[in-house]
Amino acid sequence: VARSIDLNVDAGESAGPYLYGDDENLFPWVSSVNVACGFHAGDPAVMRRTVDLAARNRLAVGAHVSYPDRAGFGRRFLAATPEEIYEDCLYQVGALEGFLRAAGLRLSHLKPHGALYNHASADPETALAVARAARAWDPALPAMLLAGSPGLAAVAQSGTPVLAEGFADRAYSVDGSLLPRSQPGSLLTDPLAVAHRAVRMVVEGNVETVSGEAVSLQCDTMCLHGDTPGASTLARAVREALALAGIEVRRAWPAN
Amino acid sequence: VARSIDLNVDAGESAGPYLYGDDENLFPWVSSVNVACGFHAGDPAVMRRTVDLAARNRLAVGAHVSYPDRAGFGRRFLAATPEEIYEDCLYQVGALEGFLRAAGLRLSHLKPHGALYNHASADPETALAVARAARAWDPALPAMLLAGSPGLAAVAQSGTPVLAEGFADRAYSVDGSLLPRSQPGSLLTDPLAVAHRAVRMVVEGNVETVSGEAVSLQCDTMCLHGDTPGASTLARAVREALALAGIEVRRAWPAN
Amino acid sequence: VARSIDLNVDAGESAGPYLYGDDENLFPWVSSVNVACGFHAGDPAVMRRTVDLAARNRLAVGAHVSYPDRAGFGRRFLAATPEEIYEDCLYQVGALEGFLRAAGLRLSHLKPHGALYNHASADPETALAVARAARAWDPALPAMLLAGSPGLAAVAQSGTPVLAEGFADRAYSVDGSLLPRSQPGSLLTDPLAVAHRAVRMVVEGNVETVSGEAVSLQCDTMCLHGDTPGASTLARAVREALALAGIEVRRAWPAN
Amino acid sequence: VARSIDLNVDAGESAGPYLYGDDENLFPWVSSVNVACGFHAGDPAVMRRTVDLAARNRLAVGAHVSYPDRAGFGRRFLAATPEEIYEDCLYQVGALEGFLRAAGLRLSHLKPHGALYNHASADPETALAVARAARAWDPALPAMLLAGSPGLAAVAQSGTPVLAEGFADRAYSVDGSLLPRSQPGSLLTDPLAVAHRAVRMVVEGNVETVSGEAVSLQCDTMCLHGDTPGASTLARAVREALALAGIEVRRAWPAN
């Protein structure tokens, strides 16, 4: 059978005079992007530019929603209530909509960013608050969370579509969770090794953990990091390895 | 013939622990509200609450878009470019959309706030930047600007629907422009006088200027201020005077 | 012997057009104030006005430093690193200094606000980050933390002066910690009951916990809340009860 | 006689994960720096790092104060009142003080940034608001403004020390004002040409305008831009040309 996988990248994280990431060189290698909505990064001008760039590359565009923490780039846990998370997500999803309409696109998915991603993946109550925002926006809008996580399971059970996300360039703990970024070796940077892991995730449906054993991992999408040195080289290596393995890179869910 | 007029009020200007205005007591007297979108006031929680309150009162809900100036409550001119104004407006309009969807409402109109309102009414280039955001969102979305202003005329000519706004509680200069707030007597607070002006605006289509002469003024909507002492008393006085004059208070444009 | 106690109140929490608290009516009853520095509330204009008001009331002025969380009024835990907390505190302390100089005052103390207060009182590492900022500013500057808390003990041991704070209007758990605000009965509002507790704290050095038993509590200062209904009535009741008990209300530490 | 000039550069304009400018490579070539204070750029962590870097390079450190406009990097005029400008400046100057104390430095000077610089240089009322903040902080603190400008003259007359600033890499209009950045040719990038202008400014006390004629220009300091490509190459060229001309690069005013 024909195999396929979605490749996604976080995008639109520049702001005002500040450049961040390498959207121009990464977009050709992926099939979907997660656009910052101003709470951890991005601003209206960057959002417009990023959506337009995604449209030119025919990519699916999702909202990359965050805790309101520009100072910490959304990477710090914030003790927001589920109600606050719901409201903040809904605000950010909407903020992106205008730029999508102007570009003739529809919102593809919702992905929490940084600390909110980690917390929503680990904590069902938080995940459900995010999912509630997705549902209020559009019952068919999928929420992207960590493959195999309790948060993902809770959202799926609630009836909101989910997108299980794997990380070809991150190390996995024995229990299938991501090794925290603060730990040495948590980020893989060798293009060949990452490309190999990406193919294995799709073909075998598993990933090698830090202990050397394989743990099952069913992904709808794989994230490539755009803010690491050599990001576009890595993206290209993954893309080409997938092609060699006969795996098509395309959005894994219906255009909603 | 049956006469009617829209009464609008700025709303949702609270933020976090800060209460501002008197939405609860004003909404019963008006037919449409302009909801702050976080750039001069409001926040996601307040936006949600305000939209829900508007829904319960069956009011038309517009986006009250502003320069990004929370510190100055959007009341200070900012030398933003037309592109920046377009992007900021589109961001804010979208941000409101999620709460409208959750409440089962559609966006009714777009109204610039404070310094952006004054500048857009006086300056066609600025008005057209605002109108371009309205059009990108929905070609049928009307933009609300000062009745008789150059900005309103430019928007109307560009093909974007307009709503001409009059102020029953503000003094008008001889040339039909609003007397600046900084000048004494610019704000009328006597309920009877304001109610009288409101009726006259609708029935005679004019307003008495500071010189005592009448100047023609064709309005689709009249603004009542929600942040002045006795705002709801004033709103009630206007509403009742309009009723006595046989004028219905309702939205003057089709639900889009 | 003559007894004395400091009474402090959080102040300067208004912002722009938003009024919060009742500084004018509370300042006459206290001996020191903690001024918001823009991270959870306040702004440069409010800080100036608040410092000037404190100067006219001859009060000691401390910096009320917070996590950077205006949206949450500083009441939400944020996973900031000790370095970030140190830097944020130093920034805020300095920001207040200009207004103190303009008013001819010197900074009296440093008090964390909201979630940072709770976390610093409970967690020595966080408390030491705050204390490090106080020390960098002025080695004689005292840090105000919860009486009897691990954070206070750690700061005291590090050589930074401390001010142990008691709460006459908050319920105490059996272990001497504050009952969380989310629990019923956590906030006492009866002026007589609060005044009685205040006197007892000074005279007997203890407080009655929710179980009815007394727990020892040595305070240098007592906090009165300024953002509760009837705050100034409560403040007056406490002040008068202290006077009747022969307890002077004054700053308990040298003017630095 | 021995000639000398101060070379200054805007610094500390990074923020969170965003890098901006090239402080590390520019600091060795200048004698003073203007540190962003969080209103247009910078944050507490960046301020700390920048002040520490300046201390290691034995540079004079000034506060680079701005309108509150992070979205526009402080480059857009904002209709703030003189009172608001005074308060915003005082807040920012103070915010820098903590990091100076921690590094064992004293504040050297106050320089408005971007739109506030242009407006203060052109408008005496604005300049005096800035100067009032400098004076409230320390009557000996000098304010840096455009050489030959009305704002500089007004501040000098008010008794606040001034530092007249020239721009070796900016084109001058016939009347001695800076050619706006929006005009072609406003920014000179050829290191030799800029170095030549710098020497001429010091030795001859004049600058060639766009018309080819010389206009008198008495400077206490010259600004080098840190956010242009090749900034450090340019800085080095200027520094070396000054050395060849026997001009010492050092702060032109007493350490206050």
pLDDT digits (tens, 9 = 90+) for B57-71: 999 999 999 999 999
Q: Which residue has the tokens 């959750």?
A: B102
Question: pLDDT digit string (tens) for A42-70?
Answer: 999 999 999 999 999 999 999 999 999 99
pLDDT, position A175: 86
A56 vs A72: CA distance, rounded Å: 31
The shortest C-alpha distance from B134 to chain A (Å) reads 9
- Does residue A9 surpass a pLDDT of 90? yes
- Does residue B256 surpass a pLDDT of 60? no
Question: pLDDT digit string (tens) for C191-247?
Answer: 999 999 999 999 999 999 999 999 999 999 999 988 888 899 999 999 999 999 999
How many CB atoms neighbour CB A211 within 10 A? Answer: 10
Which of A10, A14, A18 should one mutate to test binding to chain D, selecting the residue with the greatest count of D CBs within 10 A?
A: A18
User: Which residues of chain D have a Cβ shorter than 8 Å from any chain C Cβ?
Assistant: 38, 44-45, 47-48, 83-84, 87-88, 90-99, 101-102, 133, 136-138
The sign one gets for the Cα dihedral D172, D174, D177, D178 is negative
Residues of chain A neighbouring C69 (CB-CB closer than 8 A):
68, 78
Q: What does chain A look like in DSSP terms, one character per residue?
A: --EEEEEEEEE---BTTB--S-HHHHGGG-SEEEEE-SSSS--HHHHHHHHHHHHHTT-EEEEEE--S-TTTTT-S-B---HHHHHHHHHHHHHHHHHHHHHHT--EEEEEE-HHHHHHHHH-HHHHHHHHHHHHHH-TT--EEEETT-HHHHHHHHHT--EEEEEETTB-B-TTSSBPPTTSTT-B---HHHHHHHHHHHHHTSEEEBTTS-EEE---SEEEE-SSSTTHHHHHHHHHHHHHHTTEEE--SS---
- Does residue B255 surpass a pLDDT of 80? no
Put simply, the answer to whether A16 touches D227 (Cβ < 8 Å) is no
A37: which 2 tokens? 């909505």
Put simply, the answer to whether C95 touches D99 (Cβ < 8 Å) is no
Question: Tell me, what amino acid is at B52?
Answer: D
pLDDT band of residue C180 (cuts 50, 70, 90) is confident
Contact (CB, 8 A) for C172 and C179: yes
Contact (CB, 8 A) for D219 and D201: yes
D89 vs D106: CA distance, rounded Å: 17
Residues of chain B neighbouring D77 (CB-CB closer than 8 A):
77-79
Question: pLDDT digit string (tens) for D236-254?
Answer: 999 999 999 999 999 878 7
Q: How many CA atoms lie within 13 A of A90 on its CB side?
A: 28
Mean pLDDT for A124-131 is: 98
Ramachandran bin of C223, using left for φ above 0, alpha for ψ from -120 to 50, beta for the remaining angles: beta
How many CB atoms neighbour CB D228 within 10 A? Answer: 14
Neighbours of chain B (3+ CB pairs under 8 A): A, C, D
pLDDT, position C175: 86
The shortest C-alpha distance from B129 to chain A (Å) reads 14
The residue ranges of DSSP E strands in chain C, in sequence order, are 3-11, 32-36, 60-65, 107-112, 143-146, 162-167, 206-208, 214-216, 221-224, 247-249
pLDDT, position C254: 75
Put simply, the answer to whether A71 touches C71 (Cβ < 8 Å) is no
Instruction: Using alpha carbons, select from C32, C17, C43 the residue that is nearest to residue C249.
Output: C32
- Does residue C1 surpass a pLDDT of 70? no
Mean pLDDT for D153-174 is: 95
Question: pLDDT digit string (tens) for A203-250?
Answer: 999 999 999 999 999 999 999 988 888 899 999 999 999 999 999 999
Q: Which residue has the tokens 């080819």?
A: D212
| Cα angle value B90/B92/B98 (rounded, 5°) | 105
pLDDT, position C256: 52
Residues of chain A neighbouring B94 (CB-CB closer than 8 A):
94-99
Put simply, the answer to whether A91 touches B136 (Cβ < 8 Å) is no
Question: pLDDT digit string (tens) for B195-225?
Answer: 999 999 999 999 999 999 999 999 999 999 8
Which of B13, B14, B18 should one mutate to test binding to chain C, selecting the residue with the greatest count of C CBs within 10 A?
A: B18
Mean pLDDT for D6-23 is: 96
Residues of chain A neighbouring C72 (CB-CB closer than 8 A):
78, 80, 84
Q: Which residue has the tokens 């039909």?
A: B176
pLDDT band of residue D255 (cuts 50, 70, 90) is low
pLDDT band of residue D2 (cuts 50, 70, 90) is low
A111 vs A171: CA distance, rounded Å: 20
D147 vs B202: CA distance, rounded Å: 57
Instruction: Give the nearest partner residue to D44 out of C45, C91, C99, using CB atoms.
Output: C91
Residues of chain D neighbouring C98 (CB-CB closer than 8 A):
90-91, 93-94, 133, 136-137
Distances (CA, A) of A57 to A24, A27, A52, A133: 10, 7, 9, 27
Put simply, the answer to whether B227 touches C15 (Cβ < 8 Å) is no
Put simply, the answer to whether B96 touches A98 (Cβ < 8 Å) is no
D32: which 2 tokens? 């003073």
D103 vs D97: CA distance, rounded Å: 10
User: Which residues of chain A have a Cβ shorter than 8 Å from any chain D Cβ?
Assistant: 15-20, 41, 43, 70-73, 227
D38 vs D45: CA distance, rounded Å: 10
Instruction: Give the nearest partner residue to B98 out of A45, A93, A99, using CB atoms.
Output: A93
Residues of chain C neighbouring D96 (CB-CB closer than 8 A):
94
What is the ipTM score, two decimals? 0.95
- Does residue C255 surpass a pLDDT of 70? no
- Does residue B24 surpass a pLDDT of 60? yes
Instruction: Using alpha carbons, select from B205, B230, B186 the residue that is nearest to residue B22.
Output: B230
Put simply, the answer to whether A15 touches D18 (Cβ < 8 Å) is yes
Which of C66, C78, C89 should one mutate to test binding to chain A, selecting the residue with the greatest count of A CBs within 10 A?
A: C78
Chain C CA closest to residue A88: C71
Q: Reduce the DSSP state of residue D20 to 3 states and report it.
A: coil
pLDDT band of residue D14 (cuts 50, 70, 90) is very high
- Does residue B2 surpass a pLDDT of 80? no
pTM of the model: 0.96
C152 vs C140: CA distance, rounded Å: 16
- Does residue B8 surpass a pLDDT of 70? yes
Contact (CB, 8 A) for B191 and B169: no
Contact (CB, 8 A) for D186 and D193: no
Q: Which residue has the tokens 């393995």?
A: A245
Put simply, the answer to whether C69 touches A78 (Cβ < 8 Å) is yes
Instruction: Using alpha carbons, select from C109, C221, C216 the residue that is nearest to residue C165.
Output: C221
pLDDT, position C2: 59
Residues of chain C neighbouring B227 (CB-CB closer than 8 A):
17
pLDDT, position A172: 94
Question: pLDDT digit string (tens) for D174-224?
Answer: 888 899 888 999 999 999 999 999 999 999 999 999 999 999 999 999 999
Distances (CA, A) of B132 to B37, B87, B111, B139: 18, 10, 13, 9
User: β-pairing, B162-167 with B221-224?
Assistant: parallel
pLDDT band of residue B190 (cuts 50, 70, 90) is very high
